Amino acid sequence: MIEKNYDVVVVGGGPAGSMAARAAAHAGSTVALFEKDREIGIPVRCAEGVGAKALGSLLEIRPEWISQRISGVRFIAPSGQSVDMANDEIGFILNRKIFDADLAKFAGDSGAHIFTKTYVEGLFFQDGHVAGVRINHLGHRMTVEAKIVIGADGVESRVGRWAGLHTQTPIHDMESCAQVTAGNLEIEPSLITFYFSHEIAPGGYLWIFPKGPDIANIGLGVSGEYSREHKPVELLQNFVHRHFPRAVWLSTVFGGVPCSKPLESLVADGLLLAGDAAHQTNPLTGGGIISGMLSGKLAGETAVKAIRTGDLGRHFLQEYERQWQPEAEKQEKFYKIKEFVFNLRDKDFDQIAAAVLSLPAEKRTLVNIFRKALIKKPSLIFDILKLFT
């Protein structure tokens, strides 16, 4: 049964929403999480890659979450030249269907009420403050009051905009993605592979993230700058047919990643945003699982503090923005690196790859790649300087 009012209402049952609900319930608030889809964790619009250390810093890792351990990275330049990199961190390819469901269950275990098939249609306000949500639960329309609403509604977020925040993603910053989980592949399961080339993924890259000995997520992202002429669905079909003609297509998904600068504001009176809804992804890699989890947790904790003090206004909630500030600064840096990398031409990538290959494998770190890039294209120094100014 959905109650008439809660301390905290969370919109969206992805990693950000579940972590927010868990944190708020754990700290003693009454919490409802509303997810529009019929099942938490499905569909999986994600390549499922995370760093082991980062995940372990947030939760005790369960073996059921892990499809594949990753110990190395391979880059393929436009020429086809392949460069293996020294790995500085172990990674996992998750099974997000199980992982997301577990995160929601943890929230439930802490006392949060989880409702699927519940679409949040809008917010309602009292004295200018967000005071709750209007929902459609299995065809029944109702309103639910909340002291604080946390918008964790993903790339398709509308919650922030209903409260007057500017969360539209600039079109050139949206990566338009297509992915297939395919079987019957000849791959090296412990390596993730990235292809950079204008022909394969303009303004983005293609990834192969293994989920087992012969199965992988193969996907690509195309910047909105190019996605009118170059549709991800066709680029993906072309690539897979050319490189893996015997692939068995098990599941196809589409999606978007907001690869933008940090949002100016993450809070309004009675409202916090977390995860993709707050554009908290790494704009270079598109990764957003870990940052969504962390921001969800911080948002949930701040909500409870605000309720305790009785101050639900945006000035108090800005505490969450202050806590997020170090991450926002990182995001700003990665945005500059993204602009630099995605402005390289195929010829530049080929030259850099050739130069890096002259290094022994254990010396191939990102810093050395930048060094080699500089020697090959000295004008890059200006782009790189911009990163640090």
Partner 1 sequence: MTIPYYRQSQCDFCGTCVGVCPENAIELAETTLVILEDLCTACMNCVIICPTAALEERDDRKEL
First to last CA, the chain: 54
Please report whether residue 39 would count as binding ligand FAD according to CB under 6 A: no
Please report whether residue 49 would count as binding ligand FAD according to CB under 6 A: yes
Residue 97 interacts, among partner 1, ligand FAD, none and using kind-specific CB cut-offs from 5 to 8 Å, with none
Q: Rank residues 138 and 381 by Cβ distance to partner 1 and give the closer one.
A: 138
User: Which two tokens mark 64?
Assistant: 């059921």
* Cis status of the peptide bond prior to 378, with omega within 30 of 0: no
DSSP H helices, the chain, are 15-26, 52-58, 96-109, 159-162, 232-243, 289-309, 314-342, 346-357, 366-376, 380-387
Rg (CA), the chain: 22
Q: Rank residues 156 and 199 by Cβ distance to partner 1 and give the closer one.
A: 156
Q: How many residues does the chain have?
A: 389
Distance of CA 167 to the CA centre of its chain: 15
Q: Rank residues 106 and 254 by Cβ distance to partner 1 and give the closer one.
A: 254
**What is the pairing mode between strands 113-115 and 31-34?**
parallel
Q: Rank residues 45 and 377 by Cβ distance to partner 1 and give the closer one.
A: 45
Nearest to 21 by CA among 90, 88, 100, 113: 113
Q: Residues 290-329: x/- map of binding to ligand FAD (CB under 6 A)?
A: x-x-------------------------------------
- DSSP string spanning 52-81? HHHHHHHSPPPGGGEEEEE-EEEEE-TTS-
Residue 219 interacts, among ligand FAD, partner 1, none and using kind-specific CB cut-offs from 5 to 8 Å, with ligand FAD
Residues that bind partner 1 (CB under 8 A): 36-38, 45, 117, 119, 136, 154-158, 161-162, 168-171, 174, 176-178, 222, 224, 227-228, 231-233, 253-256, 258
Q: Rank residues 142 and 381 by Cβ distance to ligand FAD and give the closer one.
A: 142
Minimum separation from the CB atom of position 48 to ligand FAD (A): 5
Residues of the shown chain interacting with ligand FAD in the complex, contacts defined by CB under 6 A: 11-17, 34-37, 45-50, 119-120, 152-154, 156, 177, 179, 219, 255-257, 275-277, 281, 286-290, 292
